[in-house]
Each structure stands twice: as C-alpha cells, then as structure tokens.
Amino acid sequence: MRISSALFLSWIARSRRGVGHGVLARAAWRRLVAAGARGDANAFTGVWYAWCPDKSQELPDGFASWPVPADLAFSVGWVLTDPQLTGVNRRAVATLVAGSPRAISVAWTACSADPERPVPAELTRCPVPDSAVGDLIRTAEDVRRSARERATVGSLLPDRVLAEWGPRRLASFYALTGQMARLPGIDADGSVLADVLEDVDERTRATIRETVRMAATATAATEVAGPQDWPRRWDSASRLSLADAAAVARSIAGRWQPPDAASRRLFDLLARADPDALAAGRSALAFPAPVRLHTDTAPHSCSFSPDGRWAVVTVPSSRAVSFSKADLTVDWLLFSLPDGNLVERRRRAGVLYDARLADRGENRGYRPAIVVDGHVTGLHKGNTAVAHQMILPRSDGFVREDVILPGRGVPPPYQGGLPHDGTLTFFDAAGHEVSNVRFHRDLGLPDRWHYGLTAVDPLDGRVLVDSGERVWLLDTMARRVLASSPPDTFVNAAAFLAPDRLAMVGSAPGGHSGPYLRIWRVRGDTIEIETEPPHRHQVSSLAVFPGRGEIATVDIEDRLHWSDARTLTEIGGPALPAVTLWDSPDGHMFACPAADRTGVDVFVDPLPARLAALPNLPLADATPADLTAVIKALDDPLPAARPYLELLRGYLELRFGPTG
C-alpha cells in the first residue's frame, strides 16, 4: 500500500463521530488493519493518524507488533505520556515505545517539559538510551514534582552517568531524588551538601532541606539505638527543625546526655519542650493559606485598591488574529477582599495590541480602571483611551498609586504605555482628569515617545519615570525633576523601599546585561547603585515589602526568591509556585496566579518570609539574624506561636549569646 493510499483511507476512517462510524469509515478501517496484519509498514501510519486525534477506538489486535515508521517514533513516544491513555491502548503503545529508543527518548522529553504530566510506569521499565539521559535528569530534579516521583525517576539514572560526576553534582542529585543513604559515601561531614545549598535557588534549597529533614526524622524514629548510638543521634538533631530535634532529645533523655556543659544546656532545653505547644506554634507560623479569586481562565493581571478592599483581575475573553493585528477582548473581574467574592464582571472590547500602531510608537487600546463606589470604572482622556499606568492625587495633595494597575508582572507587549507624546495624566478618585504633564515641553526632558511610569512613592507621591535609557525622579504631580540615573540605565520594574532607596530591575551602565535586581539610592540630584545582587538571577517579576524589609522576585525560570531589602542576600521563605507577582500599594498583600491557572491566589498579611521558614529550617542553618527576627516576632500578638518562639529564642541565645 502506498503512503498516499494509507493517508486517504485514514481520512475516510476518521469521521466526525470518531473512528469507524459509518459504512465507509468502517470499511476503510478494516482495510488498514488487514494491510497492517500482513506487515505493510504504511498501514501503521494510516491506523495511527486515524486513531490518534481522540484515541477512543481500541487499537487492533497485534498492533504492538507492527513495525513503527521512523517518522512516527516522536508521536508514539509523546502519546505514551498522555494520562488519558488507558487499557489495551496504553499497553499497546507502551510495547511500541519499549522497542524504539527514539520513542523512549521522546517520552522522557515530554515528561521533562511538563511537570504536571505524570511519568508513565511503563516508561520507568524501559532501558534508558543515551539520548534520554538529559531529560531523565531534568525530570528527576524538577522540584515541582512529588518526592516519590523524583525518587523513582532518579533511581533509573545509569551508574555510568553518575561515575562521571563530582561530589557536588552527586550530592545535589542524591538529595533531590531522596537517595540519602548514598550521601555519606561522598559527603561524610555534610560540607559538600552545605556548599550546594549556598548555590541553588530558594525553591530547590527548600526541597533539599525537606528531603534531608524527612530522612533524618525517619532514621531517628526507626533506629534501635544502643548507648553507643546516642551521641550520633544527638549530633543528627542539628540537621533537623526545632520540633524534630526536640523529639530526638526526648527520646534520649534519661539515658544519655552530652558531655560538655554548653551542649547539655541545649539538650535539656529541647528535651523539656512541650510537643503540643511546638505543634501549635509550627502551625501558627505557617505561611497563610491564600484567598482564591476564581477566574476559570488564566489571569492576565491583578491589582489592589489602596485600602485593600478590592482586587481587579483581567482575563482574556476572546482573541481574533489577522495578518497585521491581534485583537484581545478582556474582562474586568472585581473581587471584594478578604472574602474573595466576585462582585462584578465587565467586558472591555477593543484593540489591546495593534502591531501597525506599535511600529509608530502608538498604543491606544488599553483602558486603565479604578474602583468607584464598588464598581469598575474605566479612565478616559477625551475619546481616546489613555495609558495603562496612572496615578491619582490624594485629598491632601500628595500622589500615590490609587489607580487599579495591571501590576508589576510579566510586561505585556505595550510596556511603557504612556501616550506617544510623552504625557503623564493625573486623575481624581472619581476618574476625572485633573492635570497632565508633557515631559519634553514642560520639564525639558529628552523628546522621546517611549516614556513609562515606573513607580510612585506611597509616602510623598514622587514619581519615577523611565525614558528608555535612564530613569528620572519627579516631585509630586510631576512639576519638576529632582534626580536622574546615569545614561544607559534600562529599567523593567521598580518600587520605593524608602524615600531615598529604590529596588529596580534592569541593566545598569557598565554592569551585566539582563534584568537583574539592584538597590539604588537617591543622593542629591543623582540616582546611584547602592547594592549589587550577590546572586545573578534574571528577574521577571518584583514585589516589595518595605515594612518587613523583604523583596520577592520571580526569575525567568519561574523560581521565587525572597531577599533581604538591604543586602539582597536570600533569606529563605515559602516556595510558592509563582510565575509572576502583584503586590498591594500598602505592602500588606501580594498575589500570584494559581498553580492550575484558573484563578489568583491572594496572600493577606503574610508573616515575614524568613520567620515563616523557621519551623522547617535545620537548626544548624540558623543565624544571628534569625534570633533578631524571633525577638521582633515575640513583640507581635501571635499567642499560639509564643511557646514555640520562646523555645527557639532560648535555643538561639544559647548558641549565639543573648544579644545575637
């Protein structure tokens, strides 16, 4: 059978209701099956193309023994990872994959590309070809997968690959895949793994620590310890969290104690701890469960009102694409907080991004919005929609972000959306225009069309604008220029940490290219770099919490980082599945798209990230800064956490001294 005939029969066999529905469809299917049973290679192609679109038809008997054309190995391997594939069809496809190294490799590629795609059990029983090793490793080390799945996949890596790795690479792999029993052979004192933890991102660090904690807890709970084992068990307690270390101390108390006085004080403190109080404190310090704003479809942006009572989420509602233009209709969804109830849904039709206008620096389609009397209200300037980034005067004459903004997330194609003539427009709380400033005409700034409003100081209303090659700090209502950065300063996002300190994401003159986070300080009429980042993570999203001294960023690989707002060192924190961040003007809330992309998760008054990380932090990793954080937390009303915090404070003071 020629390939053209096989494809023609495949087209006939696949009716609108599925394979084999109708006289002609059944006849075409039977002819393809008969040809395949005779060993016709092209018949496989015909059957596969007819069956693959909905996979509802049962594959013919003996199909798994048919020869797989080389050009279909990719499709066969990918289909095996489809979680909807079941029964006879799954067994047949699995048999086909097992006989094709290329199909095995493709199946591992599919798994590594999508962490929500389960690794088929049939795939784990196949030999691992060299071409699949890279994807297998990426799958095994993907912290978005469950610990059990990582362990299963990690155990499949051939020893020949492991033999080529050094101690650091091995330690990282063993820790991520739960092979803790193999660590002592390459890292007897834990120093190698400690070095690994210094270099990885926060989410990977949290995953490794949890794996180590679970392994150490299991060891401490299952060992039948004689007197000679107790010192080793006590030594392992430092690699556990406070509650788990206390459990180890209680299991040894009365039978053994450390020989030196300092260790005995720590030991006695932990052994006397109330396990119920520790459990209650651990729960009280957990990062709060988010408020879910249900959108059904993937959110485009989210913004908060300054008083924290409202959140507006935009979602795409339809898309029409032509040769020169992409139209996007968006819905505004207004939610009340903190209950997360949907109050209003409005549709905004119009061109959100028009390629023809963008070429001329025009962008007329996105209407910003504010909430007035519990309703979403679009802002207009005459008959033309104005830029999406706006500010409003407060009643006392200052300026702040009182407009519902799309947020500081991944920038849309119209980033820098001030009108092309470089005009900044001010509105009042009812959405009425108050004044406007043209940067070139009124302030003498360079005559450029792509100015963008980057940040507004929530304290005194000063405005930070970006001209595409430097940033300019303007006073309230943008009446005069206060300071500017050096040329060749490219900014993607910025926020005020203090009146004279800014967190800015972008490139700096003479620095590394790419969107990196830096701290800048206003000195006189200049804006200068104060702190370079110790870690080079290219940042795609920024949220700041000045009151807590913390900054949250998402890098270009969708990994969340919590940093100290003064030094930019990473401080630990919850490993949320955030791909972008939106923060509230007062810093009391932030949001990120839900993991399943059907809503927005809003975190209201979260604890400081470092404090929330302490219950799972190994005691050996605690620092004097943690003692300071605990002392500060004891001043706040957290009754359920007080016994836990007091115990942790006592432990840290014994280690570092009363003043830290």
Residue 525 lies in a domain: yes
Q: Are residues 627 and 591 in the same domain?
A: no
Helix (H) or strand (E) holding 506: strand 501-507
Helix (H) or strand (E) holding 530: strand 526-531
Q: Are residues 247 and 326 in the same domain?
A: no
Give 453's strand partners. Answer: 465
Binned at pLDDT 50, 70 and 90, residue 318 comes out as low
Residue 150 lies in a domain: yes
Binned at pLDDT 50, 70 and 90, residue 361 comes out as very low
Percent pLDDT > 70 in the chain is 74
Is the confidence at residue 475, as pLDDT, over 80? yes
Is the confidence at residue 484, as pLDDT, over 90? yes
Binned at pLDDT 50, 70 and 90, residue 414 comes out as very low
Q: Are residues 241 and 335 in the same domain?
A: no
Alpha-carbon span 340 to 421, nearest angstrom:
39
Give 179 or 16, the one with higher predicted confidence.
Answer: 179
Angle, alpha carbons 117-120-123 (nearest 5°): 125
Each residue's pLDDT tens digit, 277-292: 888 888 788 777 889 9
Q: Give the other-Cβ count within 10 Å of 106's Cβ.
A: 24
| pTM given for the model | 0.59
Helix residue ranges per DSSP H, 324-460? 355-358, 439-443
Q: In the numeric block, which tokens belong to residue 25?
A: 């469809």
Spatial contact of 129 and 104, defined as CB atoms under 8 Å apart: yes
Binned at pLDDT 50, 70 and 90, residue 613 comes out as confident
Q: Could you list the residue range(s) of the whole structural domain that residue 399 is in?
A: 300-598
Instruction: Please state the domain count of the chain.
Output: 3
Give 215's strand partners. Answer: none
Q: Are residues 279 and 310 in the same domain?
A: no
Is the confidence at residue 221, as pLDDT, over 80? no
How confident is the model at residue 20, as a pLDDT? 54
| Cα 13 to chain centroid, rounded | 44
Is the confidence at residue 391, as pLDDT, over 50? no
Q: Are residues 363 and 338 in the same domain?
A: yes
Alpha-carbon span 31 to 42, nearest angstrom:
12
The residue type found at 223 is E
Is the confidence at residue 600, as pLDDT, over 80? yes
Q: In the numeric block, which tokens belong to residue 255?
A: 């039978």
The strand ranges marked E within 337-460 are 342-348, 369-372, 375-378, 380-381, 384-385, 392-393, 399-400, 423-427, 433-438, 452-456
How confident is the model at residue 47, as a pLDDT? 73
Alpha-carbon span 28 to 41, nearest angstrom:
16
Residue 613 lies in a domain: no
Residue 603 lies in a domain: no
Residue 215 lies in a domain: no
How confident is the model at residue 204, as a pLDDT? 84
Q: What is the CA radius of gyration of the chain?
A: 30
Is the confidence at residue 415, as pLDDT, over 50? no
Q: Are residues 172 and 267 in the same domain?
A: no
Residue 466 lies in a domain: yes
Residue 454 lies in a domain: yes
Each residue's pLDDT tens digit, 548-598: 888 999 888 788 888 888 889 888 777 777 788 888 877 788 899 988 788
Is the confidence at residue 15, as pLDDT, over 70? no
Contacts 24+ apart (CB under 8 A), 374-380: 374/310, 374/334, 374/343, 374/344, 375/334, 375/344, 376/312, 376/332, 376/334, 376/344, 376/346, 376/404, 377/430, 377/431, 378/348, 378/431, 379/403, 379/427, 379/431, 380/431
Q: Give the other-Cβ count within 10 Å of 318's Cβ.
A: 11
Query: The domain spanning residue 374 has which CATH number?
Result: 2.130.10.10
Q: Are residues 249 and 191 in the same domain?
A: no
Q: Are residues 230 and 130 in the same domain?
A: no
Give 395 or 605, the one with higher predicted confidence.
Answer: 605
Residue 210 lies in a domain: no
What rounded mean pLDDT belongs to the chain? 75
What is the crossing angle of helices 261-271 and 230-237, to 10°? Answer: 80
Q: Are residues 123 and 173 in the same domain?
A: yes
Q: Are residues 395 and 269 in the same domain?
A: no
Is the confidence at residue 440, as pLDDT, over 90? no
Alpha-carbon span 506 to 467, nearest angstrom:
13
Q: Are residues 521 and 647 in the same domain?
A: no
For residue 262, CA distances in Å to 244, 419, 626, 649 come to: 20, 67, 20, 16
Q: Are residues 541 and 640 in the same domain?
A: no
How confident is the model at residue 651, as a pLDDT? 87
The strand ranges marked E within 206-254 are none
Is the confidence at residue 368, as pLDDT, over 90? no
Of 49-58, 89-98, 102-111, 124-133, the poorest mean pLDDT is in 49-58
